[in-house]
Structure 1
Amino acid sequence: MLLNVTERGPEMPANNRPPVVFLHGLFGRGRNFGFFQRSLSTTWRTLALDLRNHGDSPHGPMDYPTLAADVRETLAAHNALPAIVIGHSMGGKTAMMLALTSPNDVHALMIADIAPGEGGLAHTQDIAEGLIRLPMPATLDLSGADKWLSQVIKDKSVRDLMAQNLELGDHPCWRIGLSEIHDALKAIVDWPAIPEGVRYDGPTLFVAGSESDYIRPVNYPEMRRLFPHYRLDVIEGAGHWLHAQKPRKFLTIIETFINSV
């Protein structure tokens, strides 16, 4: 499946620099990384993808091998391989799967607040279940959307994120493939068993929020098995949405990493 792509970059990109690719988390979209694209695009070619069932990309069944295959097909169509791949949450698991299944296509890997294993994203199950059952109003504006979503989502920042996925007006509807996401939640929260001997030997950086428990010491052995050269950086005072909560620190980490590889 070819995905929707937002591309930014210099008029004359350096031929020896791989493109930087951003993969968003569940219920997000590529434009969530706009600040980072604008900041890097004076010197780096950048691509932010809408994963399937998100943003302006097509809908369909989803699991991590499928999501990774979509990303590879799309980047190949844009002549953007190999790439430095940066993924947050669900996008991070997708990036890891891409690196493990197509290692030659990933120049370097940066994973934001998710580990290779079951877990993380569990709170989204309740959100998806609630939204599926919530009757869509006949008309909806932005303030009405916030009130409507508050029946299911208590966190204002998460409601703001979800509101971006609504088509507002007299005939409101979801832009995202909500039913497909709902059906795939077990696979999204889970992580496929990776056979012994399969690993990614390229540069790998995991970035965790100090207030998040999505990357824990129990995950370190599997991180080392699959990504033997990984490093771990922690952003103090950040939770799971570390790139939104500490954008300048996250940008500094990106710039240091991509310039080092």
Structure 2
Amino acid sequence: MLNLTTYGDQTDSPTLLIAHGLFGAGRNWGALAKRLSQTRRVITVDMRNHGESPWYNSHNYKDLAADLAEVIDTLDGPVDVLGHSMGGKAAMVLALTRPELVNRLIVADIAPVPYDHGQMQYIEAMKAVDLGKVKRRADAEAQLSDMLEDPILPGFFTQSIDIKAKKWRLNLEVLAREMPDILSFPKDLTGPFEGPALFLSGADSHYVKREYRPVIKQLFPAAQFAKIPDAGHWLHAEKPREFEAALRVWLDQSAASAT
């Protein structure tokens, strides 16, 4: 089963399960999870081939959704599910294939469509890091900074380095091979998911275009849309307080409307 971290205790509010994006880990969401756990139990997971979770030879969204379902099956009742990017696609597939497990769905800056932007350059950059010279994260960040333009990414990627073992906590070979599946979205899904759904995106991001909304509404007819100003794809890292505030407002409003 996936490696998971639990924050807070079960309350009258539904548990919130958080699924991270490509090259991430549950620990990336620790600060938000701690703050949200004041009112509900929050569980972060390491997705397969990431963090401390098992490595597998496949990495498609049906498998990722099944992994999340396995976690939820150990809990009591349906949960709220928040997924970012790759984790958002996995969360959508979970909601469409196992709707009884999902109370409410929050999708952060991704849509149920295929994308053609590249991710292989990041895998090649991580492979190019000389781990033998890495004694602390800053050493790896310096190497990656010479290869990547985005100043956010070196610090993000190096959270997945095991400094002592001098290895990545990412199954880079499988992620590279499965990249076509990661960039795509399954077409043969049942649905729709009728429950509350929030598609929260960065105003400066191009991942959730207006022309994608008909596709989203077809699969998630109750979908609502919100944008965080001055934020890109990494909206939860770029604007953490604004992301948290938007999430809290929607969770409270959707809970009130259900009563």
Please report the TM-score for the alignment, with normalisation by the length of structure 2. Answer: 0.92
- Counterpart mapping for 1:1-261 below 5 A: 2-10=1-9, 13-14=10-11, 16-60=12-56, 61-77=58-74, 79-119=75-115, 122-132=117-127, 134=128, 136-141=130-135, 142-169=137-164, 172-195=166-189, 198-259=191-252, 260-261=254-255
User: In structure 2, what is the Cα distance between the partners aligned to 1:139 and 1:80?
Assistant: 46
Secondary structure of 1:249's aligned partner = helix
1:156-178 CA distance string (max 9 Å, x none): 31000111111224x51112111
Alpha carbons 2:60, 2:182 under 8 Å: kept = yes
1:98-132 CA distance string (max 9 Å, x none): 00000010000000100000117x24222123434
User: In structure 2, what is the Cα distance between the partners aligned to 1:28 and 1:154?
Assistant: 18
Offset at 1:230? 0.4
Secondary structure of 1:110's aligned partner = strand
AA aligned to 2:86 is M
AA aligned to 1:214 is Y
User: In structure 2, what is the Cα distance between the partners aligned to 1:20 and 1:208?
Assistant: 19
Please report the TM-score for the alignment, with normalisation by the length of structure 1. Answer: 0.91
1:200-257 CA distance string (max 9 Å, x none): 0000000111100000022111101000010100111110111111111111111122
Alpha carbons 1:136, 1:172 under 8 Å: kept = no
Unaligned runs of 5+ in 2: none
Identity percentage of aligned residues: 35
User: In structure 1, what is the Cα distance between the partners aligned to 2:200 and 2:77?
Assistant: 23
AA aligned to 1:38 is K
User: How many correspondences in the alignment?
Assistant: 252
Offset at 1:80? 4.7
Alpha carbons 2:192, 2:218 under 8 Å: kept = yes
Unaligned runs of 5+ in 1: none
Alpha carbons 1:29, 1:55 under 8 Å: kept = yes
Secondary structure of 1:92's aligned partner = helix
Secondary structure of 1:138's aligned partner = helix
Offset at 1:135? 6.0
In structure 2, the CA distance between the partners of 1:198 and 1:76, relative to structure 1 (3 Å rule), is same
User: In structure 2, what is the Cα distance between the partners aligned to 1:135 and 1:9?
Assistant: 37
Secondary structure of 1:22's aligned partner = strand
Offset at 1:151? 4.3
User: In structure 1, what is the Cα distance between the partners aligned to 2:166 and 2:133?
Assistant: 6
The Cα RMSD (Å) is 1.7
Offset at 1:194? 3.7
Secondary structure of 2:121's aligned partner = helix
Offset at 1:136? 3.5
